[in-house]
Amino acid sequence: MAGAAEEKARTVTIRDVAAAAGVSIGTASKALNGRGRMREETRERVLAAARRLGFRPNPLAQGLLAGRTYTVGLVTDDSFGRFSIPVMLGAEDALGAGQISVFMCDTRDDPIRERHYVERLLARRVEGIIVTGRRTELRPGIGRDLPVPVVYAMTQSTDESDVSIIPDDEGGGALAARHLLATGRTRIGHVTGPQRFEAARRRARGLGDVLSAAGLEPAGEVLFGQWSEEWGRQGADILLHQAPDVDAVFCGSDQIARGVAETLRERGRRVPEDVALVGFDNWEPMALGCRPPLTTVDMNLREIGRLAARHLLDAIAGEPGGGGVTVVPAGLILRESTRRG
């Protein structure tokens, strides 16, 4: 299918092509790159030779000359990959088109290792660096006055002049709230992650603001805890105790939502008939495995990655673009857990 030209192990240089076509190296180069003027016949001959020999220009040599490498570094501390992978895929979408390749580095959350990787990337002359993380928290930048542009995706540098692309946690919370209100719920509880997480606070604020605007308050306290199913189970019990008439729960993550769903079911509350449930993350194995399947907020991680890459490309191209934070709107994925009763 891929044609008959078998690649041989020996590397073919432009010298070989030129020799095979009976022209000088310079001419071969021009023919291959479509530069300069030359007889059509000559160009054909060179191209044919190149094809026949399986010639691939050596990007190291090209880059050396052009002063470019057409590579960027992607540094992540999200070993587990849940969040950084979609970001990376998005980045690849945007970079791949431009023939830019990505060096992947996982810091294992170790600052020493991170420093080390950044050094290595710079030594390799990457043209830019994308830094991604597990959650949208502030983190120290990877270095000041680096010789290449840096974009933080799904994480934020403490240095305000750095460029960060983050999800709209607050908007996501608001989206969930409006959806629940629209489906007729009014006694809405909230079980979420640790209060020290900016993301948890923002999601809670998004919910709170929408409820306030509707003249409502959250059912029970806003329950900050852990990002785990176990906490979801506990939180649901606390919530049922504080607000027995609760008719909806917005959860700070899909894992928490699963825990909540389980407790609700065990306490005899039907989801969604008695209590509607909205998660956060749209982590499919979790959200689809939940019973019933979970309506949840999707942070559009892929888009975050795409945007980060585009910002980086602009910066590499020398366009200012301006520092600061870009917030990517979240979306709501509708499933059974909030179906109208």
How far is C-alpha 35 from the geometric centre of its chain's CA atoms?
A: 39
Q: Pattern 15-54, binding to DNA, x per CB under 7 A?
A: x------xxxxxx-xx-xx-xxxxx-xx------------
What tokens were used for 270? Answer: 């039907």
Collapse the DSSP code of 295 into the 3-class scheme (helix H, G, I; strand E, B; otherwise coil) and give the result: strand
Residue 135 or 185: which CB sits closer to a copy of itself? Answer: 135
Number of neighbouring beta carbons within 10 Å of residue 12:
19
d(CA 90, CA 82): 14
Nearest-approach distance from CB 146 to DNA, in angstroms:
18
Residue among 1, 8, 53, 61 that touches DNA (CB under 7 A): 61
DSSP 338: G
* Among DNA, a copy of itself, none, partner that 144 touches (CB below 5 to 8 angstroms by kind): a copy of itself
Number of neighbouring beta carbons within 10 Å of residue 132:
26
User: Which residue, among 90, 77, 82, has the nearest Cα to 132 in the 3D structure?
Assistant: 77
Element (H, E) at 129: strand 129-132
d(CA 66, CA 307): 26
* Among a copy of itself, DNA, none, partner that 102 touches (CB below 5 to 8 angstroms by kind): a copy of itself
Nearest-approach distance from CB 186 to a copy of itself, in angstroms:
30
Nearest-approach distance from CB 36 to DNA, in angstroms:
5
Residue 81 or 341: which CB sits closer to a copy of itself? Answer: 81
What tokens were used for 118? Answer: 């950044």
Residues that bind a copy of itself (CB under 8 A): 2, 6-11, 56-61, 63-64, 67, 69, 71, 74, 79-82, 85, 88-89, 92, 99, 101-106, 108, 115, 120-125, 143-147, 228-230, 255, 258-259, 262, 285-286, 288-289, 291
Under rule CB under 7 A, residue 13 binds DNA = yes
Under rule CB under 7 A, residue 148 binds DNA = no
What tokens were used for 108? Answer: 């294992």
